[in-house]
Amino acid sequence: MAANYENNPAIANFVEYLRIPSVQPNINYDDCITFLRKQANGLALAVKVYELVPRKPIVVITWPGKNPSLPSILLNSHMDVVPVFENSWTHPPFSGHIDKDGKIFARGAQDMKCVGIQYLEAIRKLQQSGVQLKRTLHVCFVPDEEIGGHDGMAKFVHTKEFKDLNVGFALDEGMANPNEEFILFNGERSIWQIHVHCTGQPGHGSLLLPNNAGEKLRYIIDKFMDMRTEQKKILESNPKLTIGDVTTINLTQIYGGVQSNVVPEKLTAVFDIRLAVTVNHEEFEKMINKWCNEAGEGISIEFEQRNPCVECTKLDATNPYWVAFKAAADELKLKLDCRIFPGGTDSRYVRDVGIPALGFSPMNNTPVLLHDHDEFLKADIFLKGIDIYVKLISSVANISKDDGLPEQMCSNCIYKLGIAYHFKQTCESADIRLRQYLGLRIPSKYNDASVATDPIVPTHTTIIRKCKCKLSEQKRNTNYKRKAEAEKLKRGPKPKPKQIHACYQCDKQFRCQAQLEMHVRTHTGDKPYVCMYCPRRFTQKHNLTIHVRIHTGEKPFQCEVCSKRFSAQGNLHAHLKIHTGQRDHVCNLCNKSFITSSELTRHMSKHRGIKNFKCDLCGAAYIHARDLKLHKLKKHQIVPQNPKMLNDGFNNSNNIDIIGIDVGKDPPISIKDVNHLIPHLTNEKPEPNMPAIPESNPSLLSYEHKSVKEIFHQYPGKVFDAHNCAVCGEGFDYITALAQHYLHRHKDHDTIQSKSYGLP
């Protein structure tokens, strides 16, 4: 079997390329250039070699298309491979050995000399079939990708030579997959490699010196490793996530010091960070700086590598290259697994200059062995990949300017297309009326003159009735006097027509397109903004920003009256009503007014008299969970888990010592009797003789809900109260609290039931 494969010309070219030891570091690329020139000559294609950095050549082989003015297709690969440890290999790593099973062993078999040869062999097959593509193909072989590509593609994309290639779309390397699916990458995480320098007081190793570098370094390391643990939990909790979907942090180096018995003046920790595509870079850097400030003085950050945030290539109808790629993949019946690349490839530099790029290597049913010992690729997988590239390259390279709209469109794009179509009709109709009014010729595209020459439509020349009107030969006057400027000024400028932004599903209208797009996500369920600390997702970036402040502790909004700080501006506005005395929320039963709607909701539950919160120790029942916690604190000496409520302990006497309670006073107060604590915590006074809700009021009666999902979709943003869990009977003030309880405690159950009030 091996001999048969060796006689295959494509396999022979692949093996010859693998036998060139272009291994990092200190590579001599001369043999690669000689080999690639020979391949280009065999295909009768032009080849150019650019050397932006000495001894770092970039080879570009070009196959011109029918229409060179169209943006071209870049087929990128790299010539260098990672180091090898020859003693760990079964066969010599640069031998290109083919065993009896057709496995081709060599460094670069998967990463990524295979792809470069597959590009060229696909072109050879297309040429042999007599095919010429519409768009030009540029097959690019770059240096030093394995060490970051800084002297290769990173520099090349900013040169005039690259701009002259007129690239519209790029294909680059992907990764093998042991399963049936073919992995496709449309984005990459941003690589940050940082050195955190910690300085402190030096001295003899026998002392316990304050303000030393080691203590500061430990604090910094703990912060980074804690976040690493959080990201690991997120990855493990969701089987749909891959390593590319989370932020990875690894401590890679620690250096500093002079000798073992001297406390050093400076210690440095190096971290390799791969930021997920959903992470806000500015916020992440703020968080690191915050950690450094907390650790103490004399800490600085040095970036060894800092990749920018690069937008992922769109996988929707707005990207015609993706539409063409997907259509070809579907025709080949390829199962695609779309992911974010976990490492870094040259695609990030191509995307950074605004060119859509996809990472794809046709290697399914293949173990992932890149950078590993005994790296191999089976010959049949390699040959099948050539046929796959023939189809994919033909599809993306035959897109024309006049191809029109893609066959598949999302509902949002269809809505926008409808707006554009109706606008075009309105413009054409207005143009016809204006031309008729002015007596101008109407373009032929507006009339149906073609019907008269249609052989299917019969011609009728029967005269039904003669026209009695006599046509005047006098030309129509098309000169009109302008209205006086004074009249125009008096009338004022013509008001601009109000642009309507309406939802295509529910017809709700918005003032601007951005608000409409955010609203559409409530129908589609799209939540593109993901928290870097926890699995929470959001439809709006603003909501994510506010949520992240829960993790970071940032409170940028400060009350000018009492200096209290808040994480969201809305919370500050609600707080200001305490100082102004503004009470907009009024009870329709007793006319008592409240500052916030949540206070009114809690008040209404007192009218109902429903006590859902029972003490598991003595059976006492309460309307609110807060009251139950205070009961347990007073009667059973069970301290609430909220750290803001209690900072210290209590004794076993009838009166509980509550020391250092955060009730908005500085310094914290000390209270002997817990009954005196209640007004401080709740800002409420007892409300005796609460009238009951009349049963005749249907808007306040109970309402049954089938599931958490239906509740949120039917009443978005609605505040519910008095909810009981149908499984264990525990009560909650809000539907969100019940939902969280239900999904975490009873996720095996499909439905819940709850009682709600204040619903129509």
Stretch 370-390: mean pLDDT, rounded? 96
Q: Contact, 732 vs 628, CB < 8 A?
A: no
Of the two residues 678 and 295, the one the predictor is more confident about is: 295
Match 């009728």 to its residue by tokens.
460
Q: How confident is the model at residue 12 (pLDDT cuts 50, 70, 90)?
A: very high
Provide, rounded to the nearest whole percent, the portion of the chain with pLDDT above 70. 72
452 in any annotated domain: no
Least confident of 63-67, 468-472, 610-614: 468-472
Residue 729 pLDDT greater than 70, yes or no: no
Non-local CB neighbours of 133 within 8 Å, separated by 6+ positions: 63, 65, 66, 126, 393, 394, 397, 398
Query: pLDDT for 145-168, tens place per residue?
Result: 999 999 999 999 999 999 999 999
Which pair of tokens denotes residue 751?
A: 């439905």
Q: Contact, 244 vs 189, CB < 8 A?
A: yes
Q: Is 573 helix (H, G, I), strand (E, B) or coil?
A: helix
Of the two residues 614 and 357, the one the predictor is more confident about is: 357
Which pair of tokens denotes residue 651?
A: 């004794």
Write down the pLDDT at residue 582: 83
Residue 677 pLDDT greater than 60, yes or no: no
Based on the fold, state whether residues 627 and 505 are members of the same structural domain: no
483 in any annotated domain: no
Provide, rounded to the nearest whole percent, the portion of the chain with pLDDT above 90. 50
Based on the fold, state whether residues 724 and 577 are members of the same structural domain: no
Residue 721 pLDDT greater than 50, yes or no: no
Which pair of tokens denotes residue 217?
A: 């370094």
Based on the fold, state whether residues 145 and 24 are members of the same structural domain: yes
Based on the fold, state whether residues 646 and 674 are members of the same structural domain: yes
What CA–CA distance (Å, rounded) separates 385 from 172?
14
What CA–CA distance (Å, rounded) separates 507 from 497?
19
650 in any annotated domain: yes
Q: Phi and psi at residue 291, in whole multiples of 5°?
A: -60, -40
Residue 751 pLDDT greater than 70, yes or no: no
Q: How confident is the model at residue 647 (pLDDT cuts 50, 70, 90)?
A: very low
Residue 749 pLDDT greater than 60, yes or no: no
What CA–CA distance (Å, rounded) separates 399 from 73?
11
Q: Is 557 helix (H, G, I), strand (E, B) or coil?
A: strand
Write down the pLDDT at residue 606: 76
Least confident of 47-61, 181-195, 237-251, 702-716: 702-716
43 in any annotated domain: yes
What CA–CA distance (Å, rounded) separates 374 from 110?
11
Write down the pLDDT at residue 453: 42
The dihedral built from the CA positions of residue 24, 25, 29 and 31, taken in this order, carries a sign that is negative
What CA–CA distance (Å, rounded) separates 541 from 279?
11
Query: pLDDT for 106-134, tens place per residue?
Result: 999 999 999 999 999 999 999 999 999 99
Of the two residues 318 and 589, the one the predictor is more confident about is: 318
What CA–CA distance (Å, rounded) separates 622 from 605?
11
Q: How confident is the model at residue 416 (pLDDT cuts 50, 70, 90)?
A: low
Match 């049949």 to its residue by tokens.
380
Return the top range by mean pLDDT from 436-450, 455-469, 573-587. 573-587
472 in any annotated domain: no
469 in any annotated domain: no
Which pair of tokens denotes residue 616?
A: 């598991």
At 62, the amino acid letter reads: T
Q: Contact, 110 vs 369, CB < 8 A?
A: yes
What CA–CA distance (Å, rounded) separates 162 from 147?
21
Residue 35 pLDDT greater than 90, yes or no: yes
Least confident of 21-35, 382-396, 631-645, 677-691: 677-691
Write down the pLDDT at residue 392: 98
Based on the fold, state whether residues 616 and 603 are members of the same structural domain: no
Q: Contact, 52 vs 58, CB < 8 A?
A: yes
Query: pLDDT for 262-277, tens place per residue?
Result: 999 999 999 999 999 9
Residue 509 pLDDT greater than 90, yes or no: no
Write down the pLDDT at residue 263: 96
Least confident of 270-274, 300-304, 470-474, 621-625: 470-474
Based on the fold, state whether residues 388 and 273 are members of the same structural domain: no
What CA–CA distance (Å, rounded) separates 393 from 416?
30
Which pair of tokens denotes residue 1?
A: 């079997």
Ranges assigned E (strand) in 294-356:
299-306, 336-341
Cα–Cα separations (whole angstroms), residue 294 to 61, 194, 211, 223, 640: 55, 18, 13, 10, 28
At 625, the amino acid letter reads: A
Residue 702 pLDDT greater than 50, yes or no: no
Write down the pLDDT at residue 164: 97
Based on the fold, state whether residues 280 and 370 are members of the same structural domain: no
In 706-729, which positions are buried (b, 16+ CB within 10 angstroms) versus exposed (e)? eebeebeeebeeeebbbbbbeeee
How does DSSP classify residue 223? H
Query: pLDDT for 70-79, tens place per residue?
Result: 999 999 999 9
What are residue 600's DSSP bridge partners?
none
Based on the fold, state whether residues 574 and 589 are members of the same structural domain: yes
Residue 145 annotated to the active site: yes
Based on the fold, state whether residues 122 and 24 are members of the same structural domain: yes
Stretch 62-72: mean pLDDT, rounded? 96
Q: Looking at 477-558, list the stretches that DSSP marks H as alpha helix, in order from N- to C-terminal side.
A: 485-491, 513-524, 541-552
* Binding site members: 78, 111, 146, 173, 371
Write down the pLDDT at residue 525: 73
Q: Is 367 helix (H, G, I), strand (E, B) or coil?
A: coil
Give CA angle at 163 (159, 165), nearest 5°.
Answer: 120
Which pair of tokens denotes residue 584?
A: 């907009």
Of the two residues 318 and 38, the one the predictor is more confident about is: 38
Among 306, 329, 345, residue at a domain's last position: 306
Of the two residues 669 and 399, the one the predictor is more confident about is: 399
Query: In terms of residue numbers, what domain contains 630?
Result: 612-689
Based on the fold, state whether residues 669 and 634 are members of the same structural domain: yes
Among 261, 289, 306, residue at a domain's last position: 306
What CA–CA distance (Å, rounded) separates 543 from 551?
14
Which pair of tokens denotes residue 548?
A: 């992240």
Among 609, 628, 644, residue at a domain's last position: 609
CATH number at residue 41: 3.40.630.10
Q: Contact, 142 vs 161, CB < 8 A?
A: no
Ranges assigned E (strand) in 161-201:
167-172, 182-188, 190-199
How many folded domains does the chain comprise?
Answer: 6
CATH number at residue 270: 3.30.70.360
Q: Looking at 95-208, list the stretches that DSSP marks H as alpha helix, in order from N- to C-terminal side.
A: 113-128, 153-156, 160-164
What CA–CA distance (Å, rounded) separates 209 from 294?
19
Non-local CB neighbours of 709 within 8 Å, separated by 6+ positions: none
Write down the pLDDT at residue 36: 98
Distance, C-alpha 641 to centroid of its chain:
34
Q: How confident is the model at residue 499 (pLDDT cuts 50, 70, 90)?
A: low
Of 254, 448, 410, the C-alpha closest to 322 is 410
Q: Is 627 helix (H, G, I), strand (E, B) or coil?
A: helix
Based on the fold, state whether residues 592 and 646 are members of the same structural domain: no
Query: pLDDT for 176-186, tens place per residue?
Result: 999 999 999 99
Based on the fold, state whether residues 229 and 142 are members of the same structural domain: no
How does DSSP classify residue 450? G
Write down the pLDDT at residue 433: 73
Residue 616 annotated to the active site: no
550 in any annotated domain: no
Q: Looking at 301-410, list the stretches that DSSP marks H as alpha helix, in order from N- to C-terminal side.
A: 320-331, 347-352, 379-396
Of 316, 179, 185, 310, the C-alpha closest to 243 is 185
Q: How confident is the model at residue 583 (pLDDT cuts 50, 70, 90)?
A: confident
CATH number at residue 531: 3.30.160.60
Q: Which of 6, 16, 30, 80 is labelled catalytic?
A: 80
Q: Which of 121, 145, 375, 733 is labelled catalytic?
A: 145
Residue 252 pLDDT greater than 70, yes or no: yes
Of the two residues 275 and 735, the one the predictor is more confident about is: 275
Residue 685 pLDDT greater than 60, yes or no: no
* Binding site members for Zn(2+): 78, 111, 146, 173, 371
Query: pLDDT for 553-581, tens place per residue?
Result: 888 999 888 888 988 888 888 888 888 87
248-256: strand order across its sheet: 248-256, 266-275, 190-199, 299-306
Q: Looking at 397-450, list the stretches that DSSP marks H as alpha helix, in order from N- to C-terminal side.
A: 411-438
Write down the pLDDT at residue 747: 58
Q: Looking at 530-666, list the stretches that DSSP marks H as alpha helix, in order from N- to C-terminal side.
A: 541-552, 569-580, 597-608, 625-635
438 in any annotated domain: no
Q: How confident is the model at residue 639 (pLDDT cuts 50, 70, 90)?
A: low
Residue 473 pLDDT greater than 60, yes or no: no
> What's the mean per-residue pLDDT of the chain?
80
| Rg (the chain; Cα; Å) | 36
Residue 350 pLDDT greater than 80, yes or no: yes
How does DSSP classify residue 695? T
